[in-house]
A = this chain, B = another copy of it.
Amino acid sequence: MHSSAEENYLKAIYKLQEANGEMVATSALAQVLGIHMASVTDMLKKMSTKKLVAYQKSKGFKLTEKGRLAAIGIIRKHRLWEVFLVDKLGFRWDEVHEIAEQLEHIHSQDLIDKLDAYLDFPKTDPHGDPIPDAKGIFAISKSVLLASLTPGSQGKFTGVTDHSSAFLNYLDKIGLSLGDTIKVKEVEEFDKNYTLLLKGKKSVVVSFKVANSLLISE
């Protein structure tokens, strides 16, 4: 069994690899984990010995297949717990991250299998992130950033890349929810503001920063 610290490293490395390609740098990991580089070097040597990461001195590192499966397992647990917290316990989508960060480290395969069944095998978490199945397979749903769409095109809002409470609350405030259909009405060249048309014909103007944090499918 892996320690919570190791699991946090695995998850962070997995996400960095997803975002930035193959090799991950010591500094990048130190930054996202909020710890010092020397600590990362320390830990990676240990995780390398355990064959969780392939580590090349001064060249960065990447997950081994063993490490990748472990990372996906943790992500699966995190997202399933988030679904539980929102769907069953009535938390808001901006409240669940921290609690799920703790729950994801509970060790019991049986527990997670039963939780999955209890939640009726959800495919995405409350933020639209895909939940891998028990075999570690993600139901593929190719989505693009709203910021990559051109005026006139539309799609369904299916996820966010910013999970901060501040951002999620902002979405609630402007009345944007997962599953809504969004049409890009206009992109202002000058300041890159996006004018969007929501389902109820409602029109909202959002910044590039926001448009770049919304995932659109279909």
Q: Do B89 and A118 have beta carbons less than 8 Å apart?
A: yes
Asked if A99 CB lies within 8 Å of chain B CBs, one says yes
Q: Give the contact stretch, choosing among A10-18, A102-110, A177-185, A199-207.
A: A102-110
Q: Do A89 and B111 have beta carbons less than 8 Å apart?
A: yes
Nearest opposing residue in chain B for A115, CB measure:
B89
CA distance A68 to B198 in the complex (A): 54
Q: Do A89 and B102 have beta carbons less than 8 Å apart?
A: no
Nearest opposing residue in chain B for A95, CB measure:
B110
CA distance A119 to B115 in the complex (A): 15
CA distance A114 to B84 in the complex (A): 12
Q: Do B102 and A107 have beta carbons less than 8 Å apart?
A: yes
Q: Do B106 and A102 have beta carbons less than 8 Å apart?
A: yes
Shortest C-beta distance, A11 to chain B (Å), equals 18
Q: Do A106 and B108 have beta carbons less than 8 Å apart?
A: no
Q: Is the interface of A mostly helix, strand, loop or mixed?
A: helix
Q: Do B118 and A108 have beta carbons less than 8 Å apart?
A: no
Among B90, B98, B102, B118, point to the contact of A114 (Cβ < 8 A). B90
Nearest opposing residue in chain B for A103, CB measure:
B106
Nearest opposing residue in chain B for A102, CB measure:
B106
CA distance A102 to B102 in the complex (A): 10
Asked if A135 CB lies within 8 Å of chain B CBs, one says no
Shortest C-beta distance, A102 to chain B (Å), equals 5
**Chain B residues in 8 Å Cβ range of A103:** 103, 106
Q: Do A106 and B99 have beta carbons less than 8 Å apart?
A: yes
Question: A102-130 toward B: CB 8 Å interface, digit per residue (1/0)?
Answer: 11001110110011001000000000000
Asked if A173 CB lies within 8 Å of chain B CBs, one says no
Nearest 4 CB-CB pairings of A with B: A89-B114, A102-B106, A99-B108, A99-B111
5 contacts between A and B (CB under 8 A): A91-B110, A102-B107, A102-B108, A103-B103, A103-B106
